Every structure is written in C-alpha cells, then in structure tokens.
C-alpha cells in the first residue's frame, strides 16, 4: 500500500541563500514578458534591486499574483531574499483587503502600483523557516493559509523538474494564475531547471494566446480540468504547435475517458499528457502518472513524486482496500495559519493527511472520494463522492452533488438526464424521489483555480429548496437520435461509434452548428454526446460575439461537397465548363472513410458492421432509383443496377457509364473496408494509420501507372482501378496529423494529379479542392450560405444519382438554369424520401445494441 521514491530530497540551504538557485544559468533565457526578454542572471539582478528598495529587515510581503513581470519580480524579491511572501489573487480588492486586515503585512505589492512599504521592520514574529503563505487548496481569500518553508518550495520545484525532465531548452507559459499553487509550481520548477517562462494574462480561448505560444516556442502547457473543456471549444485540436512537448494536468480529477482521449491525441501530435495530483498543503505536487500509463490507468494519480511517499490509512473507511491517502516528504507544509500570531510557529505537521479516500492498484494510487464529502438526509449517511462518480458515469459527466438536511441536490449541465438522475440518486442513496432536487445549470461554477465551487453549489441548493428551478432539455442527443435513427444513443456514444457516415455527417453538422452558435467543435464526430452537450452549455454560457452574428463556421469538406456537385451538374447542363467535381467527391469520400469508419472505437467486427451499414445506406436507394429508371425508361441495364458495369460492359462511353462515380465509390469503399477489417491488417492500421494509408496509396498509384501511365484516356479516367488512388489520397489526407505529413501528402497529391487528366482546369479543381480540404479545416461564411451548403452536400450523392434523368429535356429546350435548379431539387427531394429507408437499412445492418 506504499510507494516511495528513491530520488534524494533537496537540502535546506538556510535563509540567506536563494530558495530557487537559478541565477547560475546566467545568460540562458528566463522570462519573456511582451517585448522584454530576461536571462536568468538579468532576472536575478532585477529581483535583487527590488528587494534592496525594501531594506535589510526581514518582513511579511503581500504580493498580488498577477501574470506580469512586475508581480513576478516582487514575488521573487520576497521569496529569494529571505522575506515571507504572502500571495493573493490579483484584481480582487475585497479578498486582498480581508487578508490585509487579518495579517497586517509589512509591505504590500499591488499590480500596477508602487510598493507600499508600511514599516521598516516587521510587526510580526516570523519563524526562520517560513518562506511562503498560500491559500489552502480549494479556497481563495480565506484567512486560513498554508505555511510553507524554504525547503518545501525548493524540494517540490526540484522534484517536478525531475519527473518532467525539464531542461534549459523548455519554456512554459502562464496559462494558470501565479497566486495558485499549481501556477507557482510551474514557475518554480522551470526556474530551477534553467528553463524559461512566458508571462501572459491571456486565456486559452484567446487566439492571441496561441499566437504567443507559437511565436515564443512554448514547450509546456499546464491546465486544470476546466482548461481542457476550454481547449476543446477553442480549436486547440486543429492547431499546429510543433514546439509543444508536454501538457500537464492537475487541480482536480480529469475524467478517465478525457485522459485517454487527450493522451492519445497528444501522442499523435508529439507531446505527452502528464496527469498530476497535489495540494497547497504539499507546496504543489504529491504524485504524477507517467505518460506511458495513461491509456491503461487513466483513473489513477500514479506514483509519489521524487522524494515523496504515499500510504493508505485503512482505518477510516469500511471498504476493503480503501483508506485515507497520507503523504510524507520534504514538501509537506509546516502547518496552517489563521492569524498573524501563527507566523511564529514552526513545523506542526510531519505528514499530510489529504482527506482523500484512495486505493492502490498495480502500484498506482486511485482517489475514490473525500472523507468530508458525506451528507445526512432522512438519517441516512450518504457518500456524495460515490454518488457523484455514479452520476457522472451514467448521466452527465459534469454532474455535481451537494446535500442539505432536507434533500440531495444534483446539478447537471444537460436537462435530458434529469429524470434518470433523480431515479438513480434515489436508488443509490435509499431516499425517496421527492428528496432529490435536480437543477440544470449552463455550466458548473468554478473557483478561480478552476475547481468545482461546492460552496456556490450549496448556496444554489438552498435557493432551489425555496424556488425550484425548471430543467431545460438539451438538444444534442435529440439531433443524434433523429439524424442517425438511433434512439438507443447515450451520452457515451460518438458519431463514429454510432456508425455515422458521410451522408449523415453533413446533416448532423448543420444541426449542431445552430446549437453551437455556428461553430461546431473541431473533431466533433469523435466526441461523445455527453461531451458535446457540456461544450454546448459552455458556449451558451459564454454567449456569441455580436460582431459575428449571422456567420457560421463551415466544415471545409461540406463546402467542397456542395461546390463539387454544383460543378458536376452545372457542367452537364452546359452552364460552365468546370469538370472534375466527381473526382473531388471521390477524394472527399476517401477522407470521410478514414474519419468515420477508421476512427471508430472497437475491433475489426465493429468496423465491418459500421462500414457495411454505411454501404447499405448508399447502395439500397441507388439500386431502387436505377432499377426504376431501367424499368420505366429503359436507360440502364442490370449491370448498372448491380454496380458491375465495368466487368461486363464495353469500354466505349454510353449511358451505362453515367454512374461511374457511384460504382467506383461502392467498390473502393468495400475494398478499403475489407482490407482494414482483416485481423492482422486491422491491428497494423490501428498502430500506424498514416504509414498504412501511404502503402495503400503506393499500391493504387502503381496500378494506375501500370494501366494508363501518366495520362488517363477519356474513359479510363472513370474506371475504378485507375481512380482508386484519388480515393486513397483522401484517406491518407485524413491521417496526416502533422504539418510535415500534410506537406508530404500535398506533394504526393500534386505529383499524382498533374497530368492525369491532360486538362488544366480539371486538375486545378481536383488538386485545389484537395489542398483546401487538407490545410483548411473550416471556413467562415454567412449562416445562410452554410445552411445551403449543408443541404447540397447532404444530398450530393442523390443529386448525382438522379440528375441524369432530370436535366436533358430542360437543357435541350434551352433552359439551362431551370435544368440546374430542377436537378438539385429532385436530388434533394429524393434524399428526403429515402431517408427513413436509409435509417431502417442502417439499423438492420448494425443490429440491436
């Protein structure tokens, strides 16, 4: 039940030496603040000059922890030159004044103002070991503070730098406030490693923040769980951040599914996710989860930090193997302070009883609850943390719970789960349903450090007992069930998990755009319904920029599908000569095959089932139309209806060739599905998706060159074997998740497309559209354009299927524009007519869950 690090603790160097020995790194860069860049030596000199203005006497120095150079220098002047630093949030005068009244600091340093040196000598008896005072974990502005020694600060900084393997080449950015122990630990650990830090007050949702990250070469990003929600809605996953080496997470439990997803995403982008555990009472960090364990153990906090030790006290909980997590190490606080008289006290604590209930699994510790998170309703003692975990797993991943004497209060971010939450809570706790109050919030209230604000929730609970709130029904799940025809969809399902395809993608993306104010989150098709509902609530809470009203962010693939089908039909009715749209649609189909079929969770059988469902939804409506045309008009024969025209018909162009695109799409999708569902190849594709697609492209390109050489003939360019490389180019493009890979794919696309048609305008349309798809994930357009594009893109396959019978008589009579409009309208209408059939066919193939 115990893990102990063998790394040595940092030796206490005494009050006269700097706590953070970073000046020895000399000319290495230490701080970037706007246009100012300081080396470690220059920073140390600036800090010494600031301390000199205060005089030689040791004093209590209150510092506002703003993320700017002036506040940083003031803080380090206090910490490094023997004073006691009392750090408070910046720009919160009420909290600052309460601390000033309780502790009467000798010097007050407020951001943007001159230092207020209130006396020449300290009014307090300051213990020799005391170096830093911080708010207790989970509180800000409270007179109860954590007393930290020089050894506490130095040892924890060295331990963090050790397990994060920080070097002078690393650079952090202040994504967290410096008054927060986590934010300070980022500063401390980077300084002692000779690394640097970028100072900014910008939020991660600000585009300028990411410009700064890129420009300054940030390698380390720190965040709390709320930060990751913001990252998910700010386009982070679409950003190219080549310098980023690791992303750290602390400040509360990150959902295990989110740990896995962010870890997996990070590995694909070249950075590690490091999950950490700590508290102000331990200076900052007590445990960390090595990045290579995040996939198998995402719910754990990992192992003790270097120099630390974790154990379980199993006498406090009745569950076997569960006990209070107890930490010991050189970073354990001296004790608490609740008034200035306590500043004279020395060490009162040898080990830290965290108040967290935990268990040990495979040498790793997992926090399962809190000792003080219990309630009593109707005489029943309730484990609120256990209930909260249950609700977050079954109903709403952002569910929070508090209890009063009268009721259990459940707070959700989606009203859809209200009834389930009430029933589950009543059953779990053994209380009657009327003793459960469910309140729907646009977002969970957070403290300034990004943790759930249970005090605020308790106030809301009291208000709810006086005036119950009305739950609001979320719409994200409703969109999923309606578009995909999956009433069984739950919060843990994603679009790809539910067997979504390119047809349903467009319609669902269009609906979600309304929910998200025009900007659907990047990668929404791989996110769970629950996560999307939380993000929608967050977007609704932030509101939309009035300057952008009437505009929407449109997936580039949707825009290209709409343009491509317009080009196809407009060219056929002789309005324009913009051929190449069908080949672009084929590349987009390959791209979407990789996005939807290959990205789905599960094994080869699940992939096959979902792939066959998508194929069936394409084939059945197509066969019905072609069959009807064959019977009524006699235009098509059975080979066309069964998609075997290439095998049995002549190589000369006739009406049977009209549907070459659909035939090629069916066979290429089926072949790709079969290839990636073979057990051995399935595992290989899962391990190295980009390389796998690259090999497939090499094979299809070789087949094309062997058959037709550089330039395809007038009918050869419409044969499946020859155009297979176009489909696979799209597939490869979807797997190109780094700039370098996109450059490689761009070069391959150019090499394979230029000269293929022997017509420059075709090659420009196909290659240009492909490059837009590859490099530009979204385009911002007027909302009405986005809606129109969504309708056209969603019906593109049916427009292609039906327009051959619609436009000829209108074109022949000289009504080209009418021919274009009628072709689009009939295709859209046919798509609506067969929609129930498509859903039924898809469900039949997928089977019941």
User: pLDDT digits over 147-195, tens only?
Assistant: 999 999 999 999 999 999 999 999 999 999 898 899 999 999 999 999 9
Domains of the chain in start order, with CATH, are 3-367 (3.40.50.12780), 373-466 (3.30.300.30), 486-555 (no CATH), 557-846 (no CATH)
Tracing tokens 């209200």 back to the chain, one arrives at: 418
pLDDT at 434: 66
311 CB-near residues (< 8 Å, 6+ apart): 1, 2, 325, 326, 328
Higher per-residue confidence, 531 vs 275: 275
Structure confidence by residue, pLDDT tens digits, 462-500: 776 664 333 333 478 778 877 776 665 666 667 776 777
CA distance 388 to 835: 40
User: Which pLDDT score is estimated for 491?
Assistant: 62
For 648-717, where are the E strands, in sequence order?
none
The region of weakest confidence among 479-493, 688-702, 805-819 is 479-493
Q: What is the pLDDT of residue 468?
A: 35
pLDDT at res. 602: 57
CB atoms within 10 A of CB 507: 20
For position 398, what pLDDT does the model report?
84
- pLDDT for residue 466: 62
- Region 701-727: what's the mean pLDDT? 92
| Contact (Cβ atoms closer than 8 angstroms) between residue 71 and residue 61 | no
Nearest alpha-carbon partner for 302 in 263, 330, 276: 276
pLDDT at 62 over 50: yes
Q: What confidence category does residue 547 fall into, taking pLDDT thresholds of 50, 70 and 90?
A: very low
What mean pLDDT is predicted for residues 512-520? Answer: 73
Closest to 408 (Cα-Cα) out of 369, 389, 435: 435
- Quick one: pLDDT band at residue 595, thresholds 50, 70, 90? confident
Strands 60-64 and 107-109: parallel
Q: Are residues 618 and 503 in contact, defined by beta-carbon separation less than 8 angstroms?
A: yes
Kind of pairing between the strands at 323-328 and 352-361: antiparallel
Mean pLDDT of the 810-824 span: 92
Residue 385 pLDDT = 77
Cα 726 to chain center, whole Å? 31
Contact of 280 with 146, CB cutoff 8 Å? yes
Q: Which residues contact 219 (CB under 8 A, 6 or more apart)?
A: 169, 170, 171, 172, 243, 244, 245, 246
| Per-residue pLDDT reduced to its tens digit, 77-106 | 999 999 999 999 887 777 788 889 899 999
Tokens of 96: 């600052």
Q: What mean pLDDT comes out for the span 533-560?
A: 68
pLDDT computed for residue 488 by the predictor: 58
Q: In what order do the strands lie in the sheet with 352-361?
A: 3-4, 309-313, 323-328, 352-361, 364-370
Higher pLDDT, 843 or 562: 562
pLDDT in tens, 408-434: 889 988 766 777 788 888 877 767 676
Structure tokens at 112: 């943007």
Helix 760-775 vs helix 739-753: crossing angle, to nearest 10: 170
Task: Kindly tell me the sign of the dihedral angle through the C-alpha atoms of 593, 596, 602, 607.
Answer: negative
Percentage of the chain exceeding pLDDT 70: 88
pLDDT tens for 118-132 read 998 999 999 999 999
In a 3-state reduction of DSSP, which class is residue 223?
strand
Q: Residue 531, class by beta-carbon neighbours within 10 Å (0-12 exposed, 13-18 middle, 19+ buried)?
A: buried
Burial of 171 (0-12, 13-18, 19+ CB in 10 A): buried
DSSP code for 237: G
| Contacts for 400 with CB less than 8 Å, ≥ 6 apart | 388, 410, 411, 444, 452, 454, 457
Instruction: Identify whether the C-beta of residue 297 lies closer than 8 Å to the C-beta of residue 281.
Output: no
* Average pLDDT for 757-761: 91
Q: Average of pLDDT values for 40-66?
A: 93
Cβ contacts of residue 455 below 8 Å, gap of 6+? none
Summary count for the chain: helices (H), strands (E): 29, 28
Q: Which residues pair with 358 in a beta bridge?
A: 323, 367
- Measured CA to CA, the distance from residue 64 to residue 62 in angstroms comes to 7
28 CB-contact burial (10 Å; exposed 0-12 / middle 13-18 / buried 19+): middle
CA distance 748 to 750: 5
pLDDT in tens, 620-633: 999 999 999 988 88
Is residue 818 over pLDDT 70? yes
Cα 566 to Cα 705: distance, rounded to the nearest angstrom? 30
Tokens of 817: 């524009």
Examine the pLDDT at 5 and tell me if it is beyond 50.
no
Cα gap 137→23, rounded to integer Å: 30
pLDDT at residue 403, rounded to an integer: 83
Does residue 305 contact residue 163 with C-beta atoms inside 8 Å? Answer: yes
| pLDDT tens digits for range 654-669 | 778 888 999 999 999 9
Tell the burial category of 467 from Cβ atoms under 10 Å away from its Cβ (0-12, 13-18, 19+): exposed
Residue closest to 542 by CA, chosen among 230, 101, 217: 230
Question: Hey, is 172 helix, strand or coil?
Answer: strand
Q: What's the whole-number mean pLDDT along residues 784-794?
A: 88
**Token reading at 673:** 């599905």
d(CA 93, CA 488): 51
| Residues contacting 606, CB < 8 A, separation 6+ | 600
Q: What is the pLDDT confidence band of residue 366, given thresholds at 50, 70 and 90?
A: very high
Q: Which residues contact 75 (CB under 8 A, 6 or more apart)?
A: 63, 65, 85, 87, 109, 178
- Calculate the average pLDDT of the chain: 85
**pLDDT of 219-253, one tens digit each?**
999 998 888 888 887 778 888 899 999 999 998 88
Give the model's pLDDT for residue 1: 41
> pTM for the full model?
0.53
Distance CA 540, CA 472 (A): 13
Predicted local distance difference test score (pLDDT) of residue 94: 73
Distance separating alpha carbons of residues 502 and 480, to the nearest angstrom: 14
> What is the pLDDT, as a whole number, of residue 748?
96
Quote the radius of gyration of the chain (alpha carbons, Å).
31
State the CB neighbour count (10 A cutoff) for residue 615: 20
């Amino acid at each position: 039940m115990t893990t102990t690090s063998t790394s040595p603790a940092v030796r206490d160097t005494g009050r006269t030496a700097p706590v953070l020995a970073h000046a020895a790194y000399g000319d290495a860069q230490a701080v970037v603040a706007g246009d100012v860049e300081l080396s470690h030596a220059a920073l140390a000199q600036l800090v010494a000059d600031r301390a000199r203005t205060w005089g030689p006497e040791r004093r209590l120095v209150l510092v506002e922890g703003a993320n700017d150079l002036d506040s940083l220098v003031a803080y380090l002047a206090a910490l490094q030159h023997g004073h006691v630093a009392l750090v408070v949030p910046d720009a919160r005068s009420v909290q600052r004044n309460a601390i000033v009244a309780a502790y009467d600091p000798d010097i007050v340093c407020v951001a943007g103002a001159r230092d207020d040196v209130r006396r020449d000598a300290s009014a307090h008896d300051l213990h020799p070991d005391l170096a830093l005072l911080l708010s207790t974990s989970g509180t800000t502005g409270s007179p109860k503070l954590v007393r930290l020694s020089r050894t506490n600060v130095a040892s924890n900084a060295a331990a963090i730098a050790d397990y994060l393997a920080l070097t002078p080449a690393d650079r952090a950015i202040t994504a967290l406030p410096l008054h927060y122990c986590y934010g300070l630990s980022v500063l401390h650990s980077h300084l002692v490693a000779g690394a640097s830090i970028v100072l900014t007050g910008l939020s991660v949702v600000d585009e300028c923040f990411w410009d700064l990250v890129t420009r300054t070469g940030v390698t380390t990003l720190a965040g709390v769980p709320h930060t990751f929600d913001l990252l998910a809605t700010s386009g982070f996953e679409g950003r190219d951040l080549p310098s980023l080496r690791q992303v750290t997470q602390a400040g509360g439990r990150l959902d295990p599914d989110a740990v896995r997803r962010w870890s997996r995403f990070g590995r694909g982008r070249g950075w590690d996710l490091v999950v950490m555990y700590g508290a102000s009472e331990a200076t900052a960090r007590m445990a960390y989860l090595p990045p290579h364990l995040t996939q198998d153990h995402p719910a754990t906090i990992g192992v003790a930090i270097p120099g630390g030790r974790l154990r379980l006290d199993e006498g406090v909980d009745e569950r076997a193997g569960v006990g209070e997590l107890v930490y010991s190490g050189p970073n354990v606080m001296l004790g608490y302070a609740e008034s200035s008289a306590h500043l004279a006290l020395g060490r009162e604590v040898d080990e830290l009883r965290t108040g967290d209930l935990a268990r040990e699994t495979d040498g790793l510790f997992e926090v399962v609850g809190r000792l003080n998170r219990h309630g009593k309703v109707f005489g029943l003692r309730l484990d609120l943390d256990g209930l909260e975990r249950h609700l977050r797993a079954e109903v709403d991943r952002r569910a929070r719970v508090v209890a009063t004497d009268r009721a259990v209060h459940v707070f959700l971010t989606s009203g859809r789960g209200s009834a389930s939450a009430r029933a589950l809570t009543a059953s779990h706790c053994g209380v009657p349903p009327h003793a459960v109050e469910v309140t729907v919030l646009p977002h969970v209230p957070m403290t300034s450090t990004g943790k759930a604000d249970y005090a605020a929730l308790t106030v809301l609970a009291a208000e709810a007992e006086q005036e119950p709130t009305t739950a609001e029904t979320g719409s994200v799940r409703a969109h999923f069930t309606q578009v995909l025809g999956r009433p069984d969809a739950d919060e843990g399902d994603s679009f790809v998990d539910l067997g979504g395809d390119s047809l349903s993608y467009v319609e669902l993306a269009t609906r979600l755009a309304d929910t998200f104010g025009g900007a659907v989150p990047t990668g929404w098709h791989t996110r769970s319904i629950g996560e999307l509902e939380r993000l929608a609530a967050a977007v609704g809470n932030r509101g939309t920029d009035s300057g952008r009203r009437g505009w929407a962010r449109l997936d580039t693939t949707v825009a290209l599908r709409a343009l491509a089908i317009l080009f196809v039909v407009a060219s056929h009715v002789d309005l324009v000569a913009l051929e190449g749209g069908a080949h672009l649609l084929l590349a987009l189909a390959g791209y979407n095959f990789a996005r939807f079929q290959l990205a789905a969770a599960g094994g080869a059988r699940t992939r096959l089932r979902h792939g066959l469902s998508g194929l069936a939804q394409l084939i059945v409506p197509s066969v019905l139309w072609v069959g009807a045309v064959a019977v009524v008009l006699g235009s098509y024969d059975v080979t066309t209806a069964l998609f075997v025209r290439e095998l049995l018909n002549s190589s000369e162009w006739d009406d049977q060739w009209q549907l070459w695109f659909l035939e090629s799409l069916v066979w290429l999708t089926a072949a790709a599905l079969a290839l990636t569902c073979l057990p051995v190849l399935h595992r290989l594709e899962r391990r190295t998706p980009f390389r796998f697609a690259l090999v497939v492209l090499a094979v299809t390109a070789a087949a094309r060159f062997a058959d037709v050489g550089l330039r395809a003939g007038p009918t050869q360019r419409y044969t499946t074997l020859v155009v297979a490389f176009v489909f696979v180019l799209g597939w490869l493009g979807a797997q190109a998740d780094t700039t370098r890979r996109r450059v490689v794919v761009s070069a391959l696309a150019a090499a394979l497309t230029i000269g293929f048609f022997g017509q420059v305008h075709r090659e420009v349309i196909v290659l240009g559209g492909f490059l837009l798809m590859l490099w530009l994930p979204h385009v911002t357009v007027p909302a009405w354009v986005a809606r129109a594009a969504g309708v056209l893109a969603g019906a593109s396959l049916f427009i292609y299927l039906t327009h051959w019978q619609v436009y000829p008589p209108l074109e022949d009579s000289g009504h080209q524009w009418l021919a274009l409009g009628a072709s689009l309208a009939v295709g859209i209408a046919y798509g609506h007519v067969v929609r129930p059939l498509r859903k039924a066919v898809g469900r039949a193939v997928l089977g019941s869950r």
